[in-house]
Amino acid sequence: MNEQKWRIPANEGVGLRLERGQILRVTDVEGEQVADLVAFLADDRSERLDPGVTMDVLHAMKVKVGDMLYSNKYRPILTIIADKVGQHDFINSACRPEMYEFSYDKPKHASCYDNLNQALAPYGIPAPDQHYSFNLFMNTVIDPSGQISVERPLSKAGDYIELRAELDLIIAISACPCSESACNGFICTPIEAEIV
Amino acid sequence: MNEQKWRIPANEGVGLRLERGQILRVTDVEGEQVADLVAFLADDRSERLDPGVTMDVLHAMKVKVGDMLYSNKYRPILTIIADKVGQHDFINSACRPEMYEFSYDKPKHASCYDNLNQALAPYGIPAPDQHYSFNLFMNTVIDPSGQISVERPLSKAGDYIELRAELDLIIAISACPCSESACNGFICTPIEAEIV
């Protein structure tokens, strides 16, 4: 029997296959924890979830229940079925070692980029030059002047989002390992993923 | 002698090499015309201009004179030397055939994605699964609720931006071929590029 539930330890990642029609619930176990999510078509790894295209189609930086998330080739690949938080991020790429070196002088820091690459490798998906992830629970605030700040997530312990696959997908999720900023409330905690 | 000035016809693209220290001026010849720009390191094509990283470093969706633009690996690769417009776009990926099919039922439409790929091919840079371009003169407006609209560019005839290379770069520019929306003021016109 295939595994249906994954506990992702703080600072780590996981990969899984989500068949068309299946619903994935991603839960912020302790609260204020971001989960970077990427999704590739199981039968064509050149097509993947694209937050930029999703914003273009929805004409919005926020998603709501019923919205679809789109691939780089403008196909709907996931639908939001439930969302206890309503605040996620589409504009930040996955944190990566060079970010920790640049911003915090910590070049060997764990990162979503490395977590996602490691989670995708068993599925034969090579590391891209960047992951443009859908950053669950990430609370990016843009003020009217265009200044961007990353604030504490609005998610409380047990809050979740549910996504239904519209095509067969390979998904990877990283429990963001950034404890240096408000991104994860200054402490990194686990994420739970479950096919419900 | 290497070419130093390029007239990019409406709906087309161009590729060029910009050496470290050289300044590239990109001019909106007739006004209200977007130019999608991408840049790759000449000696490492896995490193390239990344609008998402640039927003992360600058904590801003807008750039001003003196700001640097960053690569996916958090290195400054271009500096803004002059800017007559002050309104550009970091969040839209390059338009592509699938966008025109999805939004306008025109699957064979010219696109920035194809223009950029064609311009980069002579430099041995393969087509990525998506171009995350710096969209010069593109006027993307985000309202406080997070709704996104693409308005007419603020650029007038002859307005330009100047970018200095901080490393040796391969650059491609596309005169955006979208006449279906306000993005280019509903008419596509030429762009000029010049090493000054």
- Residues B5-16: what's their mean pLDDT? 97
Could you tell me which residue, B41 or B2, shows the higher pLDDT?
B41
| CA–CA dist B182, B173 (Å, integer) | 20
ipTM, interface predicted TM-score of the complex: 0.92
| B108 close contact with A: CB closer than 8 A | no
B189: Cα separation from own chain's centroid: 15
Residues in chain A, total: 196
| CA–CA dist A120, A7 (Å, integer) | 17
| CA–CA dist B96, B114 (Å, integer) | 7
| B88 close contact with A: CB closer than 8 A | no
Average pLDDT, chain B: 96
| CA–CA dist A42, A169 (Å, integer) | 5
- Which of these, B164, B157, B166, lies nearest to B185 by C-alpha position? B157
The answer on pLDDT for B51 being more than 90 is yes
- Residues B146-154: what's their mean pLDDT? 94
Tell me which chain A residues have a C-beta less than 8 angstroms from the C-beta of B113. Answer: none
- Residues B188-193: what's their mean pLDDT? 98
Q: Who among B48, B60, B149 is closest to A129 (CB)? A: B48
Does residue B139 contact residue B58 with C-beta atoms inside 8 Å?
no
Number of alpha carbons in the 13 Å side-chain half-sphere of residue A75: 14
Sign of the torsion angle spanned by Cα atoms B114, B120, B122, B128: negative
Tell me which chain A residues have a C-beta less than 8 angstroms from the C-beta of B74. Answer: 96, 98-99, 101-102
Tell me which chain B residues have a C-beta less than 8 angstroms from the C-beta of A91. Answer: 52, 55, 91
pLDDT at B129: 95
Does residue B77 contact residue B122 with C-beta atoms inside 8 Å?
no
Nearest chain A residue (CA) to B57: A103
- Residues B150-165: what's their mean pLDDT? 97
pLDDT at A2: 60
Cβ pairs A/B, distance under 8 A: 98
Crossing angle (nearest 10°) for helices B97-104 and A51-58 = 20
Contact B132 A129 (CB under 8 A): no
Nearest CA-CA distance, residue A52 and chain B, Å: 6
Q: What angle do CA B94, B97, B100 make, to 5 degrees?
A: 90
Quote the strand ranges of A29-184, DSSP E.
Answer: 35-41, 44-48, 68-70, 76-83, 134-136, 139-142, 148-151, 159-165, 169-175
Tell me which chain B residues have a C-beta less than 8 angstroms from the C-beta of A146. Answer: 60-62
Q: Who among B50, B129, B148 is closest to A60 (CB)? A: B148
| CA–CA dist B183, B46 (Å, integer) | 30
- In the chain, the amino acid numbered B163 is L
Contact A52 B144 (CB under 8 A): no
Nearest chain B residue (CA) to A130: B72
Sign of the torsion angle spanned by Cα atoms B18, B21, B22, B26: positive
Looking up tokens 């519209």 gives A166
Please give the backbone phi and psi of residue B114, each rounded to the nearest 5 degrees, phi first.
-70, -40
- Residues B117-139: what's their mean pLDDT? 97
pLDDT at B2: 60
pLDDT at A144: 84
| B98 close contact with A: CB closer than 8 A | yes
Residue A108 CB contacts under 8 Å (≥ 6 apart), including other chains: A97
Does residue A58 contact residue A80 with C-beta atoms inside 8 Å?
no
- Residues B32-56: what's their mean pLDDT? 97
For chain A, give every domain's residue range. 5-195
Which token pair is A118?
A: 């490691």
Tell me which chain A residues have a C-beta less than 8 angstroms from the C-beta of B147. Answer: 59-61
The answer on pLDDT for B1 being more than 60 is no
Q: Is A166 exposed, middle or buried (0-12, 13-18, 19+ CB in 10 A)?
A: middle
Give the model confidence (pLDDT) of A78-95 as tens digits.
999 999 999 999 999 999
Does residue B69 contact residue B79 with C-beta atoms inside 8 Å?
yes
| B101 close contact with A: CB closer than 8 A | yes
- Which of these, A82, A90, A52, A93, lies nearest to A70 by C-alpha position? A52
Segments in chain A below pLDDT 70: 1-2
Residue A28: enclosing H or E segment and its boundaries? strand A23-28
Buried residues in B80-96 as b, exposed as e (16+ CB within 10 A): beebebebbbbbbbbbb
Distances (CA, A) of B23 to A109, A195, B81, B191: 35, 53, 8, 16
Give the model confidence (pLDDT) of B85-99 as tens digits.
999 999 999 999 999
